[in-house]
A and B are shown apart, each in its own frame.
Chain A
Amino acid sequence: MIPAVAINQLDKSYLEYDQKHFIFHEMNLNIAPGKFIVLLGRSGSGKSTLLNLISGMDQPDAGEIIVNGINLTRLSEHQRTLFRRHHIGFVFQSYNLIPTLTVEENLLLPLELIKQIDSSDRKKVIDLLSKLNLSDRIDSYPDRLSGGEQQRVAIARALIHDPDLILADEPTGNLDIDTGKQVLELLYELVKKAGKTMIMATHSPEVIGCADSVFSIHNLQLLRSNDNL
C-alpha cells in the first residue's frame, strides 16, 4: 500500500545572520492513508514548516517528500502548484478566506481551478454548506461572519474539491474553547467520513484523543509520542 505521506532523510534549515539553523535533520516519517495525525510542539518548533513542506509550498534542503506516491522534491514549482490544487486541502489558524469573494465563491474557487464549474458543483457547495449549518450565509462576505463561521467555511473550502490530504495548521487557534471544540468535531467528522488523511498541527491536548498518531518535534526529529492504533 502506498503511504499517504512518506518523508525520507529530510533536511530543512533557515539562515539567520549567515548562521545556518536546522529545523529538521535527517528526519523520516511514514503515514498510512486515512489516518489522522496530530503534530504537537511549541511555537516555532517547525510544525507549520512541516505542513508547508508536505503541501509543496516550501522546499527541503535535502531528502524526499512523497505524497500519494508523488515525489514533491522532483516537481517544479508549477507542478507542485498543480499537485496542491488537486491533492491538498488547507485549513489555517486565521481562516484565510478571500475577503473579496462571497462564501459561495470562496468554495467554488478550488473547484474552478480543477475544472469547468457546472450546476452540480453549485449543488455540491450548497449541500456542504448546509451540512456545516451555513446555508443562510452563502452570499455573505467573509468579514460578515463570526470566527467560527469563517473557520467552518474554510473547512468546507479544504474539502470541496475532494483532496487526498487535509493539512490543518492550528485550526482552533483563533477561536474560543467551545467554538473550537465544535469546529474540531466537525472537521474530524467530515474527514473521517470521507476517509481522508489529515495532519493537524496544534497544541491543544484534547485533540490527541481522536488522533491515530501523535508526533512531536524534538531535536530536529519527529518523535512518535503516542500511537492510538
Chain B
Amino acid sequence: MTSVLARANRNFLLQHPWQLVLALTGIALGIAVVIAIDLALESSLQSFQQINQVVSGKTTHRIIARDGSLDEKLYTQLRVELGIPNLAPVLQGNVQITTNSQEHFRIYGIDPFIEDTFQSTWQLQSNRQKPVFSLIRLVSEANTALIGKKTAEQLGLDINDNLTISTSNGSLDLKIIGFLNQTDAISNQILKNLIITDISTTQEILNQPGKLSFIEFKAKNDKNYISFLEAIRQHLAADILLTSSQNQIQSMRQMTRAFSINLKALGMLSLLIGMFLIYNTMTFLVIQRRRLIGSLRCIGVSRHQIFTLIITEALLLGIIGSLLGIVIGVLIGNGLLQLTSTTIETIYYQVDKVGLIIHPEQLGKGLLLGLGATFLAILPPAWEATKVTPNSSLIRSQLETKINKLTHTTGIVGLVFVSSGMILAFISEKSVFLGLASIFILLFGFALMTPGCTVLLMKLFEKFSNNFLGILGVLPPKMVSAEISRTGVAIAALMIAVSATIGMDLMINSFRQTVSDWITTSLRADYYISTSDRKTSHHISPIDQRLKDKIAALPEVGMLSSVLHTQVISKSGLIKVSVFELNDKSKHGFIFKQQIDGDLWQHFEQQQAIFITESLAYFHGLNIGDTLFLETKKAKQAFTIIAIYSDYSGDQGHIAMTRKLYLQFWEDSGYTGIGIYTDKNTNLQQLETKLQNLLTHDLALKSNHSIYKTSMEIFEQTFVITNALRWIAAGIAFTGIFSALLALQFERTKQFGILRAIGVTQRQLSLLILSETGLIGLTAGIFAIPVGYFMAYILIFIVYLRSFGWTMAFHFNVSVIFQGLALALIAALLAGILPAIKMAKTRPAAALRTE
C-alpha cells in the first residue's frame, strides 16, 4: 500500500477522533472483561496447584482423612514401620497478622527434614546448601517462619524481624528467618499471604497438637507403582483416603467448571457486545468514506488495495484496542479476583488467598481474541467498501433499499438461529457449555431479528404519530427505519445488554426467593450453636457431648436437634454427609423433591436409609430406591436412598443420615451444630446470656434471624461478580449506542441543516433527535423483555440445573421488566443528549455545507 493512500485514510480517521475513541473503547472493554475474568478465575484455580508446589513440591499423591484431620502418628507409622520414603507431612490453617496489616494469611507447617527430592519452593530457596541445613532454624528456634520476599517488603520486614499474628491464645511474634522467592513455577503472587513454619510451630499456633492436614507422597513411577500404592492403601484405615494429586486438581477443576463456564460466558457476552461496537464504528467509517474510496477507485486503486487498506486500519485499531484492553483487564482482574475467590470459597472449597497470577499466554490469548473479534466485525464493512464503484454514485437510499431486503433475510436467519438455539437448549442433556451456547445462539438470533422487528414497530409508531403528532412526529420513527442498517445494530446491541440484565435479574430474583424459602423452611430452631466459621482455622474442634448435655439441662430449653457435618468415603471419593438428630420441628426443615409418604421418617430412623440432596442426585444420576456403598469401620456398607431434598449450600451435594445410623458405622466426632428450641413463653434474653456463658470462644451462638441474614448476605455476595459483569456489559452496550447515535447524527448534519433552514428551531431539533434515540431505547427495551424472559428461563431450568444440580421456582417479577425498559430508555436518551446538543448548536449554514 502506498504511503499516500494510507495517509489519505489516516487523515480521515484523525478528523473523526470520537469514532476512533469509541472503536478503541469497544475493543478495549470487550477484551478487558474477557481477560479480567480469565486472569481472576485462573488465579483462583491455580492457587491450589501453585501453593502445593510451594509447600510440597513434586508430589504425586496425597493422604487425607475423611474428616479433614489426620493423626500425626499415621505419618510415623508410614515412615518408621512401613519404611515409606518421600512423605511430607503438612498442617495448614489461617492466621491473621497484625504487623502493618490486618490481612489473613495461610500458614503451612512443614518438616524441613524430608527428602529434598520434593523440590518444593521452600526447599529450593538456597542454591548453596542442602535445604535441611539452610532451614534448620525453623526447627531449632521456636516461632520462626519463612514468608515471601515481596510480602516482607510490603510489610516492611527484614530477616530476623518479627511478624505478629493473632492466635486463639493472644498475639504471637513469628521471627522471619528467611524469604521465599519466586521461581519459574511460582509467581510472587502465590507467595503473598503465605507463612511457612515448622510443623511444631504451626501445631502450637493453631492449637492442634497431634494433627496433620494431609500427608503428601511422591511415588516413583516404576513397575511396582500400582502394587506399591495398593500396599499403602491396605495399611490405611477406612476413613483415610489416598488420592493422586492429579485427580485432586482435576476434580477441583471439575467442581468449578460450571462456575468457570458461566463466568467466561459473561466475558464473551461483553466481547460480543464489544464486537457490535467495532462493527458499528467500522461501518460508519466505511460509509463516511464512500466518496474518498470512490475517488481512490477512480484514480486506479484496486479493490484488493481498498480491502487491504480497511483491514490494516482495523487490525491496527484492534491491536491498540486489545493492548489497552489487556491493561484495563489486568486492573479489573485485580478487583475481580477477590470476588471469584469469595464465590469459589462459598460454593466449593477453601482457596488460598493469592494475588493475580498473570501468564503471558493469557495476555496473548486476549490479544488474539481482540484481533479476531475486530477482524470478524469489520469483514462485512470492508467487503462492502470494495464494492464502492469508482464514480461513487451509489446513493444512500439505494443502499437502504438493499438493506430493507437484507432486513428480511436477517429476520429469517434470526428465526432459524432462535429455533436452533431452543432445540439445542433442550437436547443438550447435561452439558453446561451447550446450555450456555444455546443462550448465545438465541441471543444472536434475536439480535438478527431485531432490525426487521424494529421496522415493523416503527410503522406502528408512524401511524400513531401521523394521527396525533403531525409530520415532525412522524420523522423520528421514519428516521429510525430509514437508517435501519445503523439503528438496527445499535438497537440489537442495547437489546442484548438489557435482555441480559432482565434475564439475570429474573434468574437471581427467582434464585433468591428459592433460597430464602429454603432457609426459612430449614431454620426451625430459635438458636443455633455452631463451630466458628471456616475462616479462622481449617480444622475445627467439634462440640462435645458434655456441652450438649449442659445445654439440654437449661430450664429454658425445650428441645434440641443436632447436626454433624463430616465426610465419608465412597467409590468416587469423599462425600459430604450431614448427620442429624432430628425432632418433630426440625423434620419440617426438609423440602423434599417428591411426594413423601407417611412411613418416610420411620424408614429414615429405623433402616439403613439415607436422604440425598438434589445436587448429588443430579450429578451422580442417583434416584430414590438406589443404593450407595460407603466405607465404614465395619467394611463397605450399602445404604438405601429413600428421599431427595433441596439444598442450596453447595453444588457437590451431600447425604443426610441419622446420628444413630452414623454411630453404628463410624467413630463419633462430636457435633458441628446444635439447634435449640424453646417453649412459647421463654425469656429469650435470659437464655441467650446463659448460653453465651456456656460457650467457648470457638463456638458461635446465632439466632435463626441472624443466620437467615448471614446466609442471604452470602447469597448476595456470590452474585456480586455476576452483577458487576452485567453492568460492565451494559456499559459497553451504552458506549455502543452512544457511538452509533453520534455517528448517525453526524451523518445527518445536512438534513438537520435543511430542517433548520426551513424554520425548525434548535429546541425542536433537539426534541426530534431525543425522540429518535428514545424510540431506539424503547424498541430495544420492548424486544429485551421477551428475550430476557427466554434467557432467564434457560438460565434457571437449563444452565443452573446443569451447573449446580439445583432446581428452583421461576419467580416472575414485573418490576424487573419495568427496570429493563427504563434502563434501555435512559441509556438511549443519555446517549442521545450529546448529539442532540451538538446538532442543535451547529450553525445551519455550516450544516448545509457538509456533504
Contact = CB atoms under 8 A, between A and B. Distances in A.
Task: Assess A/B contact in the complex (Cβ within 8 A).
Answer: yes
Interface of A: 49, 52, 55, 57-58, 77-78, 81-82, 84-86, 88, 90, 92, 96-101, 105, 108-110, 112-114, 117, 141, 143, 157
A143 B398 CA distance: 8
B475 A113 contact: no
Nearest to A167: B757
Given A99-B396, A100-B478, A143-B397, A105 B759 contact: no
A15 to B, nearest CB: 13
A145 to B, nearest CB: 11
A57 B395 contact: no
A189 to B, nearest CB: 22
Given A58-B843, A108-B471, A143-B395, A113 B482 contact: no
A143 B399 CA distance: 12
Contacts of A82: 759, 761
B751 interface: yes
Nearest to B482: A100
Interface centre among A52, A108, A157 (most CB of B within 10 A): A52
Contacts of B848: 52, 57, 92, 96
Interface string B209-229: 000000000000000000000
Interface centre among B395, B479, B758, B845 (most CB of A within 10 A): B758
B471 A101 contact: yes
A165 to B, nearest CB: 13
A224 B435 CA distance: 81
Contacts of A58: 843, 845
B762 A78 contact: yes
Contact of A101 (B397, B475, B757): B475
Contacts of A81: 756, 759-762
Interface string B723-766: 00000000000000000000000000011001111111111000
A78 B470 contact: no
Contacts of B761: 78, 81-82
A109 B397 contact: no
B474 interface: yes
B730 to A, nearest CB: 30
A57 B757 contact: yes
A139 B758 CA distance: 21
Contact of B472 (A57, A109, A141, A157): A109
A86 B471 CA distance: 17
Given A105-B471, A143-B395, A99 B482 contact: yes
A90 B758 contact: yes
Contacts of A157: 758
A84 B479 contact: no
Interface centre among B398, B470, B754, B761 (most CB of A within 10 A): B754
A112 B471 contact: yes
B843 A109 contact: no
Given A58-B843, A100-B482, A141-B397, A85 B758 contact: yes
A33 to B, nearest CB: 21
22 contacts: A52-B845, A57-B757, A81-B762, A82-B759, A84-B757, A84-B758, A84-B759, A92-B754, A96-B757, A98-B754, A98-B755, A99-B396, A99-B482, A100-B475, A100-B478, A101-B475, A113-B472, A113-B759, A113-B760, A117-B470, A141-B397, A143-B398
B844 interface: yes
B471 A109 contact: yes
Contact of A55 (B754, B757, B762): B757
Nearest to A113: B759
Contacts of A100: 475, 478-479, 482
Given A49-B845, A84-B759, A97-B754, 13 more contacts: A55-B757, A58-B843, A81-B756, A84-B757, A90-B757, A90-B758, A96-B750, A99-B751, A113-B472, A113-B760, A114-B759, A117-B471, A143-B395
Interface centre among A57, A108, A110, A112 (most CB of B within 10 A): A57
A77 B765 CA distance: 13
Interface string B391-425: 00001111000000000000000000000000000
A112 B470 contact: yes
A112 B472 contact: yes
Contacts of B758: 84-85, 90, 109-110, 113, 157
* Chain B facing A: main interface SS: helix
Nearest to A141: B397
A100 B475 CA distance: 7
A95 B479 CA distance: 19
A99 B397 CA distance: 8
Contacts of A108: 471
Interface string B760-800: 11110000000000000000000000000000000000000
B762 A101 contact: no
Contacts of A85: 758-760
A49 B848 CA distance: 11
A110 B397 contact: no
A146 to B, nearest CB: 13
A229 B423 CA distance: 84
Contacts of A57: 756-757, 843-845, 848
A101 B474 CA distance: 9
A27 B675 CA distance: 98
Nearest to A107: B471
Contacts of A97: 754
Nearest to A95: B754
A79 B758 CA distance: 13
Nearest to A49: B845
Contacts of A143: 395, 397-398
Contacts of B756: 57, 81
A101 B478 contact: yes
A77 B762 contact: yes
A98 B471 CA distance: 11
Nearest to A106: B471
B822 to A, nearest CB: 28
A16 B471 CA distance: 40
A99 B398 CA distance: 12
Nearest to B841: A77
A121 B478 CA distance: 22
Contacts of B396: 99
Nearest to B763: A78
A98 B844 contact: no
A82 B471 CA distance: 18
Contacts of B759: 81-82, 84-86, 88, 110, 113-114
A54 to B, nearest CB: 11
Contacts of B472: 109, 112-113
A200 to B, nearest CB: 16
A110 B470 CA distance: 12
B480 to A, nearest CB: 9
A85 B757 CA distance: 8
A-B complex: 4 closest residue pairs judged by Cβ atoms: A85-B759, A143-B397, A100-B478, A58-B845
A90 B762 CA distance: 18
Interface centre among B471, B472, B475, B478 (most CB of A within 10 A): B471
B560 to A, nearest CB: 77
A137 to B, nearest CB: 15
A85 B758 CA distance: 6
Contacts of A110: 758-759
Contacts of A101: 471, 474-475, 478
Contacts of B760: 81, 85, 113
A99 B747 CA distance: 13
Nearest to A105: B471
B762 to A, nearest CB: 7
A117 B470 CA distance: 8
B719 to A, nearest CB: 45
A8 B236 CA distance: 110
Contacts of A92: 754, 848
Nearest to B759: A85
B364 to A, nearest CB: 47
A98 B751 contact: yes
Interface string B176-213: 00000000000000000000000000000000000000
